[in-house]
A and B are shown apart, each in its own frame.
Chain A
Amino acid sequence: AMEKSRPLWDNPLQFVFACISYAVGLGNVWRFPYLCQMYGGGGFLIPYFIMLIAEGMPLLYLELAVGQRMRQGSIGAWKIISPYLCGVGVASVVVSFFLSMYYNVINAWAFWYLFHSFQDPLPWATCPLNSNRTGYEEECEKTSSTQYFWYRQTLNISPSLDASGRVQWEQALCLTLAWLVVYLCILRGTESTGKVVYVTASLPYCVLIIYLIRGLTLHGAVNGLIYMFTPKLEQLSNPKTWISAATQIFFSLGLGFGSLIAFASYNEPNNNCERHAIIVSLINSATSIFASIVTFSIYGFKATFNYESCINKVILLLMNTFDLEEGSLTADNLNEMKDYLMATHPQEYAQLAPQLKNCSLEAELDTGGGGGGGGAFIVYSEAIKNMEVPQLYSVLYFVMLLMLGIGSMLGNTAAILTPLTDSRVIAARFPKEVISGAVCFINCVIGLIFTMEAGNYWFDIFNDYAATLSLLLIVLVETIAVCYIYGIRRFEKELHTMVGRKPNWYWKIMWAFASPLLIISLFIFYLTDYILTGTLQYQAWDATQGQLVTKDYPGYALAVIGLLVASSTMCIPLGALGTFIRKRLKSERVSTI
């Protein structure tokens, strides 16, 4: 009978684009600038590059080489390395499953904002009116119109995790559409994925270039750039800086999910994955820095705009109270005039004092909007509403977010589907389209949890805990397995046959010593951090105050968190145990015969 050959990428460029499309995601555009701002501005680049050299590139090359050599998804590949390691592959699939469950919700939000960008004015530009049309909605008055649009009109968020509320049908529709789009792209396997990644990898760069030109010409952009990039070298002594740099490199490249192994398994056996690993990791980091220039100019514009509005409000208030002439108070003489008024009319000034906010540009630059998912939407939508032709920039930005998100989803689903289609048990009975459809459908149905009123709190749980610890453990086991169980000499020889050249001392030292040590220290740090802080807390939106408040997780939420971490990490020892028992039984059966 005819043997079905493994589907291949049409050319190596598709493979590189697929990896870039997967690795470059929301984290490059949003999380990296946020970390840069928190941990020392330009100085953050130092730990970032050190971590890139120490763990990013070596671990990426390792995963690509394993995938390309074994020509199987994560489960099959690790089984070949050692039968006791089948649990590692299963753990990767479980983590990828969790990730795909919640990650597509970000695409649903991007669709929601995109569809709402075709209006004038943009719906998040103004507050809606209250019921008797005398003013704006109370909640919107307390916070800003962009935050109101995010928390109330997009999420319709409930005050706490316990108040689950109903499924929001608008969000459910957007989530269904997001999954249909993903299904369309993965329907035919590498045949369709290979063409889609041309678009999802390149379109974000076009949009980023447009935004760079637009961003740098905005009023106040320079303030943002100066503030963010001025190195605050004292942050280098803060261990959190190094931890964040290592974590960011680790998760930005998407190591440990099995996606890179899956992509590489569709390569020609003699593909030069060493060169591709270096290219992909360098492009990923370069994109982060490029995107942060764009984001910082946007930050600067937004902060300057808010600062000037604040100053204007103070000027208006003072002029109304003291009946001063128009134009007598300007931003330049505001401080002197305030002192003058305080001296000449002390009583009235004292009455007014609680309403006079101290406007500070630094304070505006510091409000990032948080490192969570909502920040990317809130900050950019706030900046966009103040630009000229906001609809155009809004559409561009959210289409870019969609491309980034779908590119990452392609990698996630590949990590789940490749082991499924590799296993002959499942692939013989069902065609590829049915398996992909089933995976998308199941994920969509479970994802409806995140469209409920308390959905964003569950989203944060998954975002913070589903992948972090498990991935560190998975990659640690991967590195130790390849270096010490498979043997680094054997791996060297395999690479020599594949790539044509033996890996030099840099790769070997990183694989054998530097990367495992780094991962172990990250792991220990996170564990002690969780243990020391005791209970875990989350940020809940308080509608009456119009801001976020901290609350403790209820018991069942902590149980879910524990289950998330345990279900993936336990696969590794259970897999090893299962193989051990099976071998024992087989050897016993053989010996008794």
Chain B
Amino acid sequence: RISDVLLCNATDRVSFWFVVTDSSKNMTTVPGSEVEAAIRMNRNRINSAFLLNDKTLQFLKITSTLSPPVEPSTPVWLIVFGVVLCLIVAGIVFLVVAGIQQRKKKNKESTERENLEEKGEVTVAVENGIPCETLDLKAGHINGVFAADDERFTSL
């Protein structure tokens, strides 16, 4: 059982040399290697006794074992990558499918119109090569140049 820790060479720097004596073995000093091993094992307790840590309490010749960082089983970045990848691929698939559907609808419409034109049942009004339906000329367009000048026309 160890009971004595003797200090010497204390400096302004709050640093000192110490030896540990073994009172059961007639006040002989405990060999340095045993003290080193003991400190290495109990480093945490010694640190917390002084409210210090490995960076602020240094034992010369005893290098501290640095704790490895906590690593989850799957790296975090892969998880975020997977989430973003799924979102992007979903977006692409949605847009591509929507585009294909739109094109199929347009093709169906144009083939229907062509069939009707061939049968001669419906004459499709065409203006400048563009069928009137697409121009949406239901009510006609008011040409602003002529409509704005109401005052020019003599009122009745």
Listed in ascending order, the chain A residues whose CB lies under 8 Å from chain B are 1-3, 111-112, 114-116, 118-119, 121, 126, 128-129, 133-136, 173-174, 177, 180-181, 183-184, 187-188, 192, 319-320, 323-326, 328, 431, 433
Contact = CB atoms under 8 A, between A and B. Distances in A.
B139 interface: no
Contacts of B131: 2
B37 interface: no
Interface string B56-97: 000000010110110000001110110011001101100110
A465 B96 CA distance: 37
Contacts of B85: 177, 180
Contact of A2 (B11, B84, B103, B129): B129
Contacts of B68: 129, 133
B76 A174 contact: no
**3 closest A-B pairs by CB:** A325-B12, A115-B77, A323-B11
Contacts of A326: 12-14
B38 interface: no
A114 B95 CA distance: 26
A126 B88 CA distance: 32
B110 interface: yes
Contacts of B69: 121, 126, 128
| Interface residues of chain B: helix, strand, loop or mixed (majority) | helix
Contacts of B89: 180
Given A2-B129, A177-B88, A319-B13, A192 B95 contact: yes
Contacts of B123: none
A319 B15 CA distance: 11
A399 to B, nearest CB: 11
A3 B92 contact: no
B130 A2 contact: yes
B134 interface: yes
A116 B77 CA distance: 5
A119 B72 CA distance: 11
Given A184-B92, A324-B12, A118 B99 contact: no
Contacts of B77: 112, 115-116, 118
Contact of B129 (A3, A174, A184, A328): A3
Contacts of A173: 81
Given A115-B81, A187-B96, A433-B96, A134 B15 contact: no
A257 to B, nearest CB: 25
Contact of A177 (B76, B81, B129, B134): B81
Contacts of B76: 115-116, 118-119
Interface of B: 11-15, 63, 65-66, 68-69, 76-78, 80-81, 84-85, 88-89, 91-92, 95-96, 99, 103, 110, 129-131, 134
A133 B66 contact: yes
A134 B63 contact: yes
Contacts of A328: 12
Contact of B134 (A2, A119, A128): A2
Contact of B63 (A121, A135, A177, A320): A135
A183 B110 contact: no
Contacts of B14: 326
A102 B128 CA distance: 46
B103 A431 contact: yes
A279 to B, nearest CB: 29
Contact of B13 (A116, A188, A324): A324
A3 B131 CA distance: 10
Given A3-B129, A319-B13, A320-B13, A118 B80 contact: yes
A130 to B, nearest CB: 9
A324 B65 CA distance: 28
Contacts of A115: 76-78, 80-81, 84
B66 A135 contact: yes
Nearest to B10: A323
B144 to A, nearest CB: 16
A184 B86 CA distance: 12
Given A129-B68, A320-B13, A323-B13, A433 B129 contact: no
Nearest to A126: B69
Nearest to A3: B129
Contact of B95 (A133, A177, A181, A188): A188
Nearest to A112: B77
B129 A180 contact: no
A319 B56 CA distance: 13
B84 A188 contact: no
B137 to A, nearest CB: 15
Specify which of B66, B68, B110 lies most central, judged by the most chain A CB atoms within 10 Å of its CB.
B66
Nearest to A177: B85
A3 B110 CA distance: 13
Contacts of A129: 66, 68
